Amino acid sequence: MKITDIKTFLMQVGPRPGLSAADGSFRGSRNWLFLKIETDEGTYGIGECSGWPRVVERAVQDLTTALIGEDPRDIDRLWHRLYIATMGHGMTGTVGGGALSGIEMALWDIKGKVLGQPVWNLLGGRFRDTIPVYGHAKSPERARELVSRGYSAVKVGFTGGVDIDLVASIRDAVGGDVDLMVDAHGPSWMTAADAIAVGREMEQLDLLFYEDPVAPENLDALQRVRDAVDIPLAAGERVSTIWGIRPYIERDLVDVIQPDTGRAGGITQMRKMAAMAESHFITMAPHSGSLGPVAEFAALHVMATIPNVLMLERVEIDWEGRYDVVTPVLKSENGALPLPTAPGLGVELVEDEIEKYPSSRNVSEMPKNEGAYEPGTFGECVYFQPRLRRSSRLRLKRTTEY
């Protein structure tokens, strides 16, 4: 069996319901990139790349020349072949990690189809038949809706500073039996001192984890937060490969790693990350906030086969078209997704639907919420800021009971 071609499918993802394209999903910038590896025997594999899809597509096309004529079943050898091929361009980052992820994902899909087995069975078999998921809420009402649909965990995310009182109101709404998480990812990032102040205020809210409290490049600041705040920390969605996640694990900076299935480097890299984390008693909760449905299938296969699973992030109502571009559709029940059982990844592209949404933009506008920045500084477009009016913005105004 030999690889004959790699085809890419780039699409624009529509806005969230009720919002315009500019104000909707990822401020009008969101793209999904799928690919198909074809062989001379007719078997093909599906994959998905994330990180910067419009740019990653060109990376995939460039790497295709290194794969034509190769046996797709030699997954690890081909991954290293591609990794070495990219080394002349510098360290592997978002673009390289995204291209490697989608290609390797598709190679596993081929191997599973050839052997008539789901990918999880080729990875050592399953620990579990269902994978727990969590949803996103920006209001108490949305949080209660998720709980009513069976979710037992909810995350509230912020651009810029954290609204501690909103977090407290969501905790009140869902009660103490539901896990609650806070994602503090920028822009603009908090300083370590401000992230610590926010974290200490939230200690009484019994969070499952506090995600990306400081800029991911600033590992020393993350260490400061780690030492000062009594809340589990989570990070890692922006890094690729085991070398990218290594300092988070080896320095014990987090309790939860969050590799993105579309840009972590591939299924094998995800499992290696999980094994590294396991040795430090760290769990894994893969990032899925910007991903499409193919990478979600791949995440399930990985999470079925590792012992240190926490949960999978899920954004299931971001855009109605999500359920038109692949088949079958994953449906959560009682806060969990069933494990696919078909050979390979168990998902197929609906190419006619994907073609209806040509890519037009893949760079985010500035956030519309000027409250993410200090008054008068919105136009400065700064990457991080100290928080002024600290007594009112970094303190919980009331004691929460639930």
Q: Do 112 and 250 share a domain, yes or no? A: no
pLDDT at residue 401 in the model: 64
pLDDT at residue 28 in the model: 64
User: Strands, DSSP E only, in 130-215?
Assistant: 130-136, 153-157, 179-183, 189-190, 209-211
The CB-side HSE value for 108 (13 A sphere, CA atoms) comes to 31
Look at residues 117, 149, 169 and tell me which one is the last residue of a structural domain: 117
Give the model confidence (pLDDT) of 48-81 as tens digits. Answer: 999 999 999 999 999 999 999 999 999 999 999 9
Q: Do 304 and 225 share a domain, yes or no? A: yes
- Per the domain annotation, does 377 fall within a domain? no
Q: Do 130 and 110 share a domain, yes or no? A: no
Strands 233-235, 209-211: pairing kind: parallel
Token reading at 226 = 């780690």
- Between CA 192 and CA 138 the distance in angstroms is 24
pLDDT at residue 15 in the model: 58
Q: Do 86 and 102 share a domain, yes or no? A: yes
* CA-to-CA dists, residue 260 to 149, 181, 312, 341, angstroms: 25, 18, 10, 22
Cis peptide before 232 (omega within 30 of 0): no
Give the model confidence (pLDDT) of 186-227 as tens digits. Answer: 778 899 999 999 999 999 999 999 999 999 999 999 999 999
- Per the domain annotation, does 387 fall within a domain? no
Q: Do 290 and 203 share a domain, yes or no? A: yes
**Number of domains comprising the chain:** 2
pLDDT at residue 91 in the model: 81
Contact 297, 340 (CB under 8 A): yes
**pLDDT averaged over the chain?**
92
- Per the domain annotation, does 366 fall within a domain? no
- Between CA 97 and CA 108 the distance in angstroms is 16
Give the model confidence (pLDDT) of 130-153 as tens digits. Answer: 999 999 999 999 999 999 999 999
What angle in degrees, to the nearest 10, is found between the helix axes of 94-115 and 293-304? Answer: 70
Burial call 289-327: b when 16+ CB within 10 Å, e when fewer: bbbbbbbbbbbbbbbbbbebbbbbbbbbebbebbbbbbe
pTM of the model: 0.94
Q: Do 179 and 104 share a domain, yes or no? A: no
pLDDT at residue 19 in the model: 45
Look at residues 327, 346, 365 and tell me which one is the last residue of a structural domain: 346
Q: Do 261 and 333 share a domain, yes or no? A: yes
Residues of the chain with pLDDT under 50: 16-24
**Residue range(s) defining the domain that contains residue 54:** 3-117
Q: Do 83 and 179 share a domain, yes or no? A: no
Contact 230, 210 (CB under 8 A): no
pLDDT at residue 390 in the model: 82
Amino acid found at 354 = I
Q: Do 8 and 138 share a domain, yes or no? A: no
Closest C-alpha to 295, from 93, 87, 108: 108
Closest C-alpha to 265, from 110, 148, 96, 388: 96
Q: Do 199 and 335 share a domain, yes or no? A: yes
Residues with a catalytic annotation lie at: 185, 287
CATH, residue 237: 3.20.20.120
Contact 322, 34 (CB under 8 A): no
Q: Do 100 and 130 share a domain, yes or no? A: no
Q: Is the torsion defined by CA of 61, 28, 353, 294 positive or negative?
A: positive
- Per the domain annotation, does 380 fall within a domain? no
pLDDT at residue 238 in the model: 94
Q: Do 49 and 136 share a domain, yes or no? A: no
- Per the domain annotation, does 373 fall within a domain? no
